[in-house]
Amino acid sequence: MPVSAHVLRHAADRPHHPAVRGRSGELSYAELAGRVAGAARHLADLLTGAAPPGPDRLTAAAPPPPDRPATPPLSPPDRPTATAPPPPDLRAGRGAVVAVSLDDPVELLVAVLAADLAGATPLVCDPAWGPEQRARVMRAVPVDAFVDAPLSAPAVSPPPPRAAAPDDPAWACFSSGSTGRPRAVVRTRASWTASFPHLDRLTGIGPGDVVLIPGPLVSSLYAFAAVHTLATGATALLPGRWSPAGLTADLALATAVHLVPHRLPAVLDALGRTASPLRTAVIGGAALPDGARERAAAAGVHVVAYYGATELSFVAVDADGSGLRPFPGVDIEVRTPPGQRLGEVWARSPWLSQGYLAGATGPLRTDDAGWMTVGDLAEPYRPGEVLRLRGRGDGAIQTGGATVVPEDVEEVLRSVPGVGDIVVVGSPHPYLGSVVTAVLETRDATPPPRARLEAAARSGLDTAQRPRRWYAVPELPRTPTGKPARGLVATRLADGDPGLRRLG
């Protein structure tokens, strides 16, 4: 995690200011820095062989006994930090990759900050993976240590912040794309930290803020939100996952929140039930729901929406509702083939990733001039104009010689009364290649009649865009960020999953 030096500075300047608040307690910046320094020492010993590994994993602590909580209670705010042991050897982990798989977001931050302090590259893994999937992923991405229990070494005095090279690999996380095959994306230190001042200016987030991050840190969106908060010196409010039951209480404290678009309406609904100091919502991902920005403004909340990708980081931002324009430092091209309506979005900036670990392949492509793309589609674009995204290239449906962008279809169908969330994918067809297939999320409600859905499709979509097959499912599979997992929906359709009900 490329912010350990920031945390150490805040610990020296504002030791008692809250750094993180989780479900199990709170850590001040001094306490967080002390725990990180102690964990870094233990991790450095593991990497150099000075400490023996556990029986089946390289961790600093065995799992807690069954009669103890999975995560040790956090220190009370006024507890002094221990200072006896010397600081860790900051050269010990240089070049090493440390996989971290912890469900508690506070413990995860301690571990990845410790890896950063020890000079290693933290690789954040999904703790929901089963043993077989985790073993398969680790075979594809060899690591030097695997942390799946809290690094509970005694706190020590933090060392002085070290001068870290901007091009050090400082962060890695997984991006599954639409295929479900995890790929580890690696980022340099500068590609994270140098963008922080731009986000500070766009969002107004500063040291006095409490930033709600209501999702798992295995997602690069939420992970970036957490490290940006700590680098700024603000307080990170970390419930660990989306929790409708806890949302009202969290919003009573939060002045800013990071979200994916489909979560914003729930936040705005909750604001009507509680007094909240919330003033900023930072939204990453697809287009905002209709009317959401206006609702937020009426509630006194400034919305900053951005478009990016795990591999590209920030590409474009809309801070005032006028449309997406290049994020500071970013050049954008939309490369449209002759005769085509849409082209691929290419970006060139200091925020781009280094690519995939272990030579993995994926949607990321580069050219010799330093441009990158992940295949997202947009309308033709010229500098100074608004970027109009039209969906993901690797999700486009080829049907009867036409190219259909799923997001175009979903936008029209979401306007039908009774439709909650919806995913559009291509289903194999012997003559057309694929046919457009819509899967509605019902959450045990009765879906709209198929006739009503088809009437909306006829009035708002071209012939090739109209779904030929309609299904309903109580709950769509989702990615760790909460977005519908389009690839998993397509797989379930292909496998004939009986949980998908055909609409007659």
Judge whether 448 lies within some domain: yes
- For the residues 117-144, what does the mean pLDDT come to? 86
Predicted local distance difference test score (pLDDT) of residue 31: 96
Longest dimension (CA), the chain: 73
Work out the pLDDT band at 248, boundaries 50, 70, 90: very high
Is residue 285 pLDDT above 90, yes or no?
Answer: no
Predicted local distance difference test score (pLDDT) of residue 394: 67
Judge whether 386 lies within some domain: yes
42 and 189, same domain (yes or no) = yes
Predicted local distance difference test score (pLDDT) of residue 159: 66
Helices 244-251 and 264-271: crossing angle, nearest 10°? 60
72 and 197, same domain (yes or no) = yes
Backbone angles phi, psi at 18, to 5 degrees: -60, 130
Is residue 21 pLDDT above 90, yes or no?
Answer: yes
162 and 275, same domain (yes or no) = no
C-alpha to C-alpha distance for 112 and 94, rounded to whole angstroms: 14
Q: What is the pTM of this model?
A: 0.78
- Which of 329, 360, 393 is at the close of a domain? 393
Work out the pLDDT band at 494, boundaries 50, 70, 90: confident
- The CATH number assigned to the domain holding 95 equals 3.40.50.980
- For the residues 147-165, what does the mean pLDDT come to? 76
102 and 195, same domain (yes or no) = yes
Q: Which residues of 89-112 are buried (b: 16+ CB within 10 A; e: fewer)?
A: bbebbeebbbbbbbbbbbbbbbbb
SS3 182: coil
C-alpha to C-alpha distance for 102 and 92, rounded to whole angstroms: 23
Predicted local distance difference test score (pLDDT) of residue 51: 55
- For the residues 222-227, what does the mean pLDDT come to? 94
The mean of the pLDDT values for the chain is 84
236 and 296, same domain (yes or no) = no
Predicted local distance difference test score (pLDDT) of residue 39: 93
457 and 376, same domain (yes or no) = no
Judge whether 68 lies within some domain: yes
Provide the 10 A C-beta neighbour count for residue 499: 10
Nearest Cα neighbor of 283 from 214, 235, 335 is: 214
Is residue 152 pLDDT above 60, yes or no?
Answer: yes
Question: Residue 344 is encoded by which pair of tokens?
Answer: 């691929």
45 and 121, same domain (yes or no) = yes
Residue 439 burial by Cβ neighbours in a 10 Å radius (0-12, 13-18, 19+): buried
Question: Residue 87 is encoded by which pair of tokens?
Answer: 């600081």
C-alpha to C-alpha distance for 491 and 486, rounded to whole angstroms: 9
Structural domain count of the chain? 3
**H or E stretch covering 191:** helix 189-193
Asked if residue 332 lies in contact with residue 326, where contact means CB atoms within 8 angstroms, the answer is: yes
379 and 478, same domain (yes or no) = no
Judge whether 362 lies within some domain: no
Q: What is the domain extent for residue 423?
A: 396-502
C-alpha to C-alpha distance for 353 and 356, rounded to whole angstroms: 8
C-alpha to C-alpha distance for 167 and 187, rounded to whole angstroms: 9
Is residue 154 pLDDT above 60, yes or no?
Answer: yes
Predicted local distance difference test score (pLDDT) of residue 88: 41
For the ranges 167-181, 228-242, 323-337, the lowest mean pLDDT is seen at 167-181
Which one-letter amino acid corresponds to residue 376?
Answer: D
C-alpha to C-alpha distance for 85 and 154, rounded to whole angstroms: 9
C-alpha to C-alpha distance for 87 and 160, rounded to whole angstroms: 9
- For the residues 71-81, what does the mean pLDDT come to? 32
Question: Residue 49 is encoded by which pair of tokens?
Answer: 């062989």
For residue 211, list its beta bridge partners.
Answer: 236, 256
Q: Which residues of 250-273 are buried (b: 16+ CB within 10 A; e: fewer)?
A: bbeebbbbbbbbbbbeebbebbee
Predicted local distance difference test score (pLDDT) of residue 176: 54
213 and 320, same domain (yes or no) = no
Nearest Cα neighbor of 345 from 285, 400, 392 is: 392
104 and 163, same domain (yes or no) = yes
CA-derived radius of gyration, the chain: 23
Predicted local distance difference test score (pLDDT) of residue 75: 32
Work out the pLDDT band at 430, boundaries 50, 70, 90: confident
429 and 339, same domain (yes or no) = no
Judge whether 260 lies within some domain: no
Judge whether 360 lies within some domain: no
Which one-letter amino acid corresponds to residue 172?
Answer: A
Backbone angles phi, psi at 238, to 5 degrees: -125, 85
For the ranges 49-63, 250-264, 286-300, 471-485, the lowest mean pLDDT is seen at 49-63
104 and 226, same domain (yes or no) = yes
Judge whether 195 lies within some domain: yes
- The CATH number assigned to the domain holding 465 equals 3.30.300.30
- For the residues 118-141, what does the mean pLDDT come to? 85
Judge whether 209 lies within some domain: yes
* Pairwise pLDDT comparison (33 vs 84), residue with the higher score: 33
Is residue 467 pLDDT above 90, yes or no?
Answer: yes
Backbone angles phi, psi at 291, to 5 degrees: 80, -5
